[in-house]
A and B are shown apart, each in its own frame.
Chain A
Amino acid sequence: MNRQTSSAARLASTLLIVGMVAVACGRSNATQGTQPATQGPTAAASALAATSDAPASPAASGSATPASAAPAATYSPPAIANDPVTGEIQSIDQLLKGIDGSLSGTNGGE
């Protein structure tokens, strides 16, 4: 009987620990996991701008937590191939071609 009670207690404590770990992991993923992958360049830039206001060192902030020891904002623009500005410039190129076409259709006689 005592052995059964002890096993049940062990099982309950194991489940509790597993549950706590699962909750902790879930929170961590929610705050860090997928967010950067879905950020656009503007959002990323805003995020960079926002983080640049953070203190550069723990000493300056007076905080002793490891999280506040993050480095200052770094600037990393997207590679040209994936750059939305590059895509927009390509669209502009097409519009410029359209203007060229319009201009070349304006000369002629009756």
Chain B
Amino acid sequence: MKTRTRTILAGLAVAALLVVTSAAVASAASPVIAGGPAGTGVCATEAAAVRAGVSIDTLRAFGDCEIARRFTTLGALASKISGSKALTSSDAAALSGEVSSTKSGLTGLKAQIDAETSLPALKSEIRQIATAYRVYLLVVPQVNLVNGADTVQLAQTAFNQVSTNLTARIAAAKAAGKDTTAAQADLDAMNAAVTQAVGLAGPLPAALLPLTPAQYNAGTAGPVLKNARAALVQARGLLQSARQDAVACRDALK
């Protein structure tokens, strides 16, 4: 009997380990795309060479490195968009189009830089790598925030399923003479929090997708991004609260 119990416990421990490991793998499989600072050191050598002596060659090398860095980021964004289970097809198409056009624009700019013979013109073109495309200040946040907003919508579907199950359970418990007041209050709170979260996240894609680098440079896109982020933070908090309400409701019916 003791041996059997030990065997069962060992099996459970292995199963738990597998679950934890697979969860870690799952979160590692969707890396966060750095918003900029994490990648700024990539071209440190080329930047140091420019500081040591400005020339066509040093500037071109710096420009090419900065563009290559953005290509890497855009590639990661494209993978994130195509691999996202949350993005709606229309949002995914809009974001893919933006990533694609940004990459095309940078490809053209790289060709200009590589062929440039005038130092002032080259300096201007290198500035355009940042100002004309705003990969890190605009495109990366757009992809992440729209994906986050669509994830809130997806969470609503999951919460609806929880709500259906808990509603049926409350009805059954009530029919059996159990006091379901607390469980019903938890369920109501859950549904209210989800509705509020969806209300916050729902309008975000429509506000975020039309933003352009020109609007960012003019100072009008920055506040939209900031407000969208704040709304998504709030929506996440509401969903966390709704999750706690769901657990409380389930436990109240035990």
Binding site for B on A (CB under 8 A): 41-42, 44-46, 48-49, 52, 72-75, 77, 80, 83-86, 88-89, 91-110
Contact = CB atoms under 8 A, between A and B. Distances in A.
A93 B244 CA distance: 11
Nearest to B85: A98
B130 A85 contact: no
A48 B161 CA distance: 20
Interface of B: 26-27, 30, 32-38, 40, 86, 130, 134-137, 140-141, 143-145, 147-148, 151-152, 154-155, 158-159, 161-162, 164-166, 168-169, 171-173, 175-178, 225, 229, 232-233, 235-236, 239-240, 243, 246-247, 250, 253-254
A110 B144 contact: no
Given A75-B172, A99-B239, A92 B145 contact: no
A77 B254 contact: yes
Chain B interface, >50% SS class: helix
A49 B171 contact: yes
Contacts of A85: 162, 165-166, 169, 246, 250
A88 B177 CA distance: 27
19 contacts: A45-B172, A75-B173, A75-B253, A77-B169, A85-B162, A85-B250, A91-B158, A92-B239, A92-B246, A99-B148, A99-B155, A100-B236, A101-B27, A108-B37, A108-B140, A109-B35, A109-B37, A109-B40, A110-B136
